[in-house]
Structure 1
Amino acid sequence: MNRGEWSEAYALLSLIANADFVLSDKSLADENSTQFKVKSILIPSNTPNKFVSLVVQDQSVIANYDGQQSSTPLTDIESVAKALFQKISSSSSTTFSFNELDTLWTKFFNPQIKATRSEKSDIKLEILDTSTQLKSIKGFSIKSNLGGATSLLNASQSTNFLYEAPHKISVPNITPKKLGKFVKPLPLKYLGSVNETYKLNLNKVDQNLESLISHLLVEYYGASNREKFVKDLLAIVANKNPLSLSNTSDYKIIMSKFLRATAFGMVPRDLWDGALSASGGMIIVKADGKLASFYLDDSHSNANLDNYLLEHSFFDTASTTRHDFGKVFDDKFFKFNLLIRL
């Protein structure tokens, strides 16, 4: 598997080894709250709508699946987690094997690690709120900072946005950046998402979102100072106020809603009903192997998450040949691609 997929397995092992669900601030530092605890972990099995349940009891992890049960010493899981972290950190290859997990995974009845294309939730956690003694089962998205940035929105041809220039475009040795710098001063016609489903999804989040993203992409690809962070591009667009909003702080609000929808529910090619499949929040594997956590049911953590997404997400450039963008067709039409990383 790739580094991100192995990181999901590592996050799972780390959650088992530490029952405290420690929330993080916008910089991913621990807030030292012990209000929430992980009571059990539910991982999708290879059978649709069935899960493997993992519970810590008396220094052992009990795995339950479809009437079957197995027990594993907690020390074995901690040992495998440590070895897996070292492998992820030291591997020079993006994709690699880690056979030490095979025996443990068999005892866990071979659950799935990677979420499906339309599913933002990687694992489900049963969380106990110690202040109310209430339990809830929520889906969480797992992201990894091991070995580099992680994707918040994967690039595809469905994340292309279409533009029309006012006249014929001629850019020698064209690249997306060269094209961006050429068209940035022009009075462009913003035609929006090339994917009709994604267009509907974006309008469900906010009616101004599709236009906002179109402007942000022009600023990103046409940047002279290599601006790429969402917060910096937002500041540039808000200063120009191309949507003629009465309050320019609304640009940040609109983008925040988009980042949240993208992180927890919406995918480009599937019509979105507004529901969050990862309704619990996000778990991030930090470069030092520790976990940072955001819990949507906690209002303070919710605010920290919005700030984290706005401050740390950035645009990136995908393969132009694979995703068919960054070139001119019919003399004055072109596409820019939306790829967002954390």
Structure 2
Amino acid sequence: MITGNKGEWSEIYALFKLLGDKQLFLGNKDIEKLEGLVYPIIKILRTENNGNFEYSIQDEIILVSGDEEVLKIPISDFKDKALSLLNAIKQNKERTFSVPEIEEFMQSINCISLKASSSAKTDITIVVHDQRTNQQPTLGFSIKSQLGSPSTLLNAGKTTNFIYKINGSIQPQEINRINSLIVKRGKKESADLKGRVKAILQNNCSLDFYKAQKPIFSNNLVLIDSLLPEILSQIVFDFYSSEFSHLTDLLNKTADKNPLNYDIENEHKFYEYKIKRFLTDVALGMMPSQVWTGIYDATGGYLIVKENGDVLCYHIYNRNEFEDYLLNNTKLDTASSSRHGFGEIYEENGELYFNLNLQIRFTK
């Protein structure tokens, strides 16, 4: 029996839906269809444990081929199964669940697992016809679903910690008090991170960016833009010291402060441009723990499975729409401070430091 969560089942839904629609619809920053812009789909490629399979679209028939075997499946079957699966995903309240009727159909078309075995960021590979260039590129897409919990764009870890030096003096007793500040949500207790930052500032101290905790992440950021560690450290600090969490709000706040003293007399969008570059690189391949070469893994972009069942494409050909989507639909989120080692004042070589963590999640 195949079981999975809503996000995992959404990958199979996207496969069925795209084969049923026979085309990719492009989306804008508000996750709505861009009218008149579509890519006809020629075929979808999928790697399973038992081989490589092609789902080729020919009129109203899908040809499923792998090794010798060729199956002919009516497109109406994919449309019907997509609708059934969408309803099953929406109605299910369990964290993981099975859909026997869909599993039976999956096995009949050599689709034996929820996640195609592929590289880290690519969930589905599609060959499209690009009418502008008259070419047929093979594009890898990462699938993000709005049917389940909002997914993360940048996962938290010690790899995404920023270290701040505390300038000013705090008495040991006060340090213990600050480090013990907690917040209660129902029966759960967690570190009061915003309260701790506020308490440090109330002791007439400042939190000044020192460095990113891990050199690989720091150098990945510098590769994208030499001043990106400083820009992100300001955004992270503003998240933990204000009411803002949406990236657009935090970015505007940083741009207003202009901490790097850019020449903004002619209204150059320095901060927005650099953060969009960062978000795009994260979306298409950059991971904090691995050396980033600048080579995109998901060569196509993102597919978004909307709550209403539409599947929208954000393509790096349409880079402006893709960047606007990423910026407008993400927020900073608080990860576990105990697991990732941040949120407590500590001393090293007679100096006080405080770590804050960067995690970016989609808003929908």
Does structure 1 residue 207 correspond to structure 2 residue 210? no
Residue 246 (structure 2) pairs with residue 229 (structure 1): yes
Q: Which has the larger Rg?
A: 2
Mapped partners of 2:115, 2:213: distance in 1? 28
2:142 corresponds to: 141
For residues 114-166 of structure 1, the C-alpha deviation after alignment (integer angstroms, 9 at most, x for no partner) is: 47796211111101023443111011111111134221112222222222212
Change over 3 Å in CA distance of 1:93–1:323 after alignment to 2: farther
Alignment-derived partner of residue 43 in structure 1: 46
Pairwise CA RMSD of aligned residues? 2.3
Q: Alpha-carbon deviation of 1:261?
A: 0.3
Counterpart CA distance in 2 for 1:156 and 1:219 is: 19
The corresponding residue for 2:185 is none
Shift in Å, 1:106: 2.1
Secondary structure in 2 aligned to 1:23? strand
> Matched residues in 2 for 1:209 and 1:292: separation?
30
Tell me how far apart the structure 1 counterparts of residues 117 and 58 of structure 2 sit (CA, whole Å): 30
Q: Which residue of 2 aligns with 1:284?
A: 304
Indicate conservation of the 8 Å contact 1:42/1:123, yes or no: yes
Give TM-score scaled by structure 1 length. 0.90
Secondary structure of the equivalent of 1:165?
Answer: strand
1:286 offset after TM fit, Å?
Answer: 0.9
Name the amino acid aligned to 1:209: L
Give distance in 2, aligned partners of 1:275 and 1:191.
29
**Inter-CA distance 46–329: structure 2 relative to 1 (3 Å threshold):** farther
TM-score w.r.t. structure 2 length? 0.85
The alpha-carbon distance between structure 1 residues 52 and 179, as it changes in their structure 2 partners (threshold 3 A), is farther
Residue 107 of structure 1 aligns to which amino acid in structure 2? S
Aligned to 1:197: 216
Query: Is 2:161–2:357's contact at 8 Å kept on the other side of the alignment?
Result: yes
Give unmatched runs, 5+ long, in structure 2. Answer: 183-191
Moved more, 240-249 or 19-28: 240-249
Q: How many residues align?
A: 335
Structure showing the higher strand proportion among its residues = 2
1:218-247 per-position Cα deviation (integer Å, ceiling 9, x unaligned) = 110111xx2111111011111112222223
Q: 1:191 to 1:101 in 2, by over 3 A?
A: farther
1:251 aligned partner: 271
User: Relative to structure 1, is the Cα distance of residues 2 and 180 closer, same or farther in structure 2, using a 3 angstrom cutoff?
Assistant: farther
Q: Name structure 1 gaps, 5 residues minimum.
A: none
- Percent of residue pairs bearing the same amino acid type: 30
1:324 matched residue in structure 2: 341
Aligned to 2:54: 53
1:141-195 Cα distance to aligned partner (Å, 9 max, x none):
1111113422111222222222221233441424222123334674323133222
Paired position in structure 2 for 1:11? 14
The equivalent of 2:360 in structure 1 is 340
Amino acid at match of 1:46: N
Shift of 1:34: 4.7
Q: Which residue of 257, 261, 273 maps to 2:281?
A: 261
- Which one of 316, 326, 331 corresponds to residue 296 of structure 1? 316
Letter in 2 for 1:62: L
- SS of structure 1 residue aligned to 2:106: helix
